[in-house]
Structure 1
């Protein structure tokens, strides 16, 4: 959401008040004296503060497992590939994925396939918060440029496994579908406007 006018007024007020969100990003967590931006940092904070013992597999105490989780969550490859599509689309300047965007998305799929080479999930054989975090981005990327199951069998299997989980069906799938539909609608609108100018 590059256009400041399109951001909710409450978000803008929170952003400006006491410089709580210099990053100017969504989401933001505000607990009065404590404010946190970035979805990855928020997820780790929430699971550490509010997680119950039965959910410890999502963010285990083992320091090496946590290091792998952090590596996946903060890798800085996946979301920039999606943002490269979202920014021009939301600002009305993109009608379809460019070849460069497609190459970058496929490169991200290749990286994930390699992470899944010897395990069922991204950091081992149990799902963690890293898998949930990556799922949100991969779901949107897959909706824009579908994963080739022959080229990326492990990633395809991982995505199907994640999508079969109740929490992912209830929470991630509807949001992802809306996000992809919205992006595609904006791209179609841009192409239509370009044709009408001819």
Structure 2
């Protein structure tokens, strides 16, 4: 195995999803911090790694890959070992469901939480989440709750890489708008279980705490200005 390096930010849900997988697989991965507040992801050097200028980015020897969902699939396929079949099953239909949940996170859940709320917060464009932001997040909670009526985890009856991806986004979403257990009982029960998973407590929770502190600080300062 070549040396693995992850360009990441601990407050970034996509970064944390990859870091959680590395923890589960026992991968020796060097993490290189990219300070998003200081716009280090917009430097010419980082743009050469990822023209989209977002984290995470994986370097595996000479191979460079961006997008957390692609990285999750690559790492579990290349280094999953005994965990591969449970985290990313090879059976066609089971794998397709995992992929679908990953695409849901990429195109809907993460975008409504981070792209629409966190990024504008750090750019000073909003002073707090709007009613539209809250409504959009509630809509994603509803979809997630529907998925969880079909299986114990988001894509299967065991934890998969889709849980790492959606779990990282869902825990970040609680900073903006907490999930109502009465309205979304399946989602709330799943989220509670995820937060108790050792890998979530060790890897994900500190990043969520950091992100929450940063967002609340920016909101407070924007409202005091």
Q: TM-score, normalised by structure 2?
A: 0.78
Q: CA deviation at 1:11?
A: 6.4
Q: CA deviation at 1:56?
A: 2.8
Q: 2: distance between equivalents of 1:5 and 1:43?
A: 25
Q: 1:128 aligns with which of 147, 154, 160?
A: 160
2:110 maps to what in 1?
79
1:196 maps to what in 2?
none
Mapped contact 2:40–2:46 kept (Cα < 8 A) = no
1:188 maps to what in 2?
220
2:150 maps to what in 1?
118
1:100-145 deviation per Cα after TM superposition (whole angstroms, max 9, x unaligned): 1000000000000010112111112111000111011110111210
Mapped contact 1:135–1:159 kept (Cα < 8 A) = yes
Q: 1: distance between equivalents of 2:100 and 2:154?
A: 10
Greater relative contact order (Cα 8 A, min sep 6): structure 1 or 2? 2
Q: 2: distance between equivalents of 1:25 and 1:108?
A: 23
Residues 1:9 and 1:129: Cα distance change in structure 2 (over 3 Å): closer
1:106 maps to what in 2?
138
Q: 2: distance between equivalents of 1:148 and 1:186?
A: 25
Residues 1:13 and 1:145: Cα distance change in structure 2 (over 3 Å): same
Residues 1:131 and 1:64: Cα distance change in structure 2 (over 3 Å): same
Q: 2: distance between equivalents of 1:118 and 1:5?
A: 39
Gaps of 5+ in 1: 194-198
The higher radius of gyration belongs to 1
Q: 2: distance between equivalents of 1:41 and 1:28?
A: 10
Q: 2: distance between equivalents of 1:4 and 1:124?
A: 34
Residue-pair matches, total: 189
Gaps of 5+ in 2: 1-11, 13-34
Of residues 109-118 and 3-12 in structure 1, the stretch that sits farther from structure 2 once superposed is 3-12
Mapped contact 1:95–1:190 kept (Cα < 8 A) = yes
Alignment root-mean-square deviation, CA? 2.1
Q: Note if 1:44 corresponds to 2:76.
A: no
SS in 1 for 2:47: helix
2:64 maps to what in 1?
35
